[in-house]
Amino acid sequence: MSRSRAIDMATSYFDDGRFMRVLDERVAMRTESQLPDSQPALYAYLREQMVPALAALGFTSRIVDNPVPGKSPFLLAERIEDPAALTVLTYGHGDVVPGHDAQWREGLAPWRVVVDGDRWYGRGTADNKGQHTINLAALEQVIEARGGRLGYNVKAIIEMGEETGSPGLAEVCAQHREALAADVFIASDGPRVAATRPTLFLGSRGNFNFTLQIKLRDGAHHSGNWGGLLRSPGIRLANALATMVDAHGRILVKGLLPETLPESVREALRTIEVGGGPNDPEIDPAWGEPDLTPAERVFAWNSLEILAFRTGNPDAPVNAIPGHAVAYCQLRYVVGTDTANLVHHIREHLDAYGFTEIDVSERGTRMAATRLDPDDAWVRWCLASIQHTTGEAPALLPNLGGSLPNDVFAHILGLPTLWVPHSYAACSQHAPNEHLLASIARQSLQIMAGLFWDLAEQGPAIREQKHVA
């Protein structure tokens, strides 16, 4: 058997309908982790889909309860050929956001795959059932093509709570660090930089959610009788926000910015173009940090967003000065940001501008920023493998613009992390009409088959090189 034969087998797996059948079964399972009664479906996905599929590939699996009470389960699996051999860890998540059944376009439904040209509609087709289904299918073809023996070990972790912030993932990986020990991490989530351009990203921006709240009095007061006499919480909060981010989206709080933009990151982004696809929103060229390219703004810099702002009753305004106002904000940040002191920097900034009455609090689960060195040997290997398969140079992103729990794999497990996404930015992820592009899925099966083949041929040498270094 040969590399090209393995890729042909992966292509046939798509063309003869096997991939569609498996994906349709998985999409049919309503694994909506954000719903309070979802636990039986989350466990069922692992028991009925993942355990049998992995067993057929020679894995042993165990389902692990979440150490956080009431949260979603995990599956840990391993296929060990030689304990001393090269080991790769892979990952996926089987949970999805709520289906919002009634909001889908006529003729579509979230719980079955519906084909419309190149688009395969269904909840989870892009995030993440389709992506980990591609990877496991490609691995299956390579195992068969190599006569049942890969020449390396594979470990896997499938979580069922990524859409709720991956509660318990860090604890599980810390508790099972030895069982999950590996040499390299290869997985798939998120979008390509463009639908037609294979992509490799090495980490993700961090995610820090915080609330600004001002309460000046218990109730509202008539704006005719008291207007001009009482401070308006909405106006105070709006002006405070204007001191933090300007009218063009530039962050004005120095403590919320990265220390620098490394030259290796800037070099990696020189050929990256953001947007321009048929369903992509039009980029605002003057928005964000000046003197940075669009790619640098989203992949190498921080952005501050006001996700929601509320004062009074927006649904039924009355002629009264509200007593309080609240803004829900988010900072997406890269490596090099002073993450230990984010709340302190905001508090210090507001106080300096006289907004001492505004409270600052962090909310939700924070995800740390991660970024593997673009010059790492594993990165060069992965780029070369993808180019060998596709005939074109893939896009290299030092980190994804969004956030993933990559810090668990990079920091707790200490692994070099390679993410090869199989979706694209306009896939309607988290929205009605979520879809996977068939053309991407087919090519991705080929890419992953090539990667898993090349890992056997070239991985041990890279492992040895890194151990010597």
Q: How confident is the model at residue 467 (pLDDT cuts 50, 70, 90)?
A: confident
Q: Is it the case that residue 242 has pLDDT exceeding 90? A: yes
What is the reported pLDDT for 403?
87
Edge-to-edge strand ranges of the sheet holding 114-116: 114-116, 119-121, 435-437
Average pLDDT for 400-405:
90
Per-residue confidence band for 120, with pLDDT thresholds at 50, 70 and 90: very high
> Model pTM greater than 0.85?
yes
Q: Which whole number is the average pLDDT over 163-192?
A: 96
pLDDT in tens, 42-87: 999 999 999 999 999 999 999 999 999 999 999 999 999 999 999 9
pLDDT confidence band for 402 (50 / 70 / 90) = confident
Indicate if the pLDDT at residue 117 is higher than 70: yes
Residues 6+ apart with CB under 8 A from 4: none
pLDDT value at 278 more than 80: no
pLDDT range class, residue 275, cuts 50, 70, 90: confident
**Residue-level pLDDT at 469:** 63
pLDDT band for position 16 (cuts 50, 70, 90): very high
Three-state SS sequence of the chain: CCHHHHHHHHHHHHHCCHHHHHHHHHHCCCCECCCCCCHHHHHHHHHHHHHHHHHCCCCEEEEECCCCCCCCCEEEEEECCCCCCCEEEEEEECCECCCCHHHCCCCCCCCCCEEECCEEECCCCCCCHHHHHHHHHHHHHHHHHCCCCCCCEEEEEEECCHHHCCCCHHHHHHHCCCCCCCCEEEECCCEECECCECEEECEECEEEEEEEEEECCCCCEEHHHHCCCCCCHHHHHHHHHHHHECCCCCECCHHHCCCCCCHHHHHHCCCCCCCCCCCCCCCCCCCCCCCCCHHHHHHCCCEEEEEEEEECCCCCCCCEECCEEEEEEEEEECCCCCHHHHHHHHHHHHHHCCCCCCEEEEEEEEECCEECCCCCHHHHHHHHHHHHHHCCCCEEECCECCCCCHHHHHHHCCCCEEECCCEECCCCCCCCCCEEEHHHHHHHHHHHHHHHHHHHHHHHHHHHHHHHC
Q: What is the pLDDT of residues 197-233, one digit of tens each?
A: 999 999 999 999 999 999 999 999 999 999 999 999 9
- Mean pLDDT for 138-151 is 97
pLDDT at residue 364 above 90? no
Judge whether residue 90 has pLDDT over 80. yes
Give the pLDDT score at 279: 72
Give percent above pLDDT 90 in the chain.
94
Q: Across all residues in the chain, what is the average pLDDT?
A: 96
Q: Check residues 455 and 275 and name the one with the higher pLDDT.
A: 455
Show the domains of the chain with their CATH numbers: 3-204+369-468 (3.40.630.10), 207-258+302-366 (3.30.70.360)
pLDDT of residue 314: 94
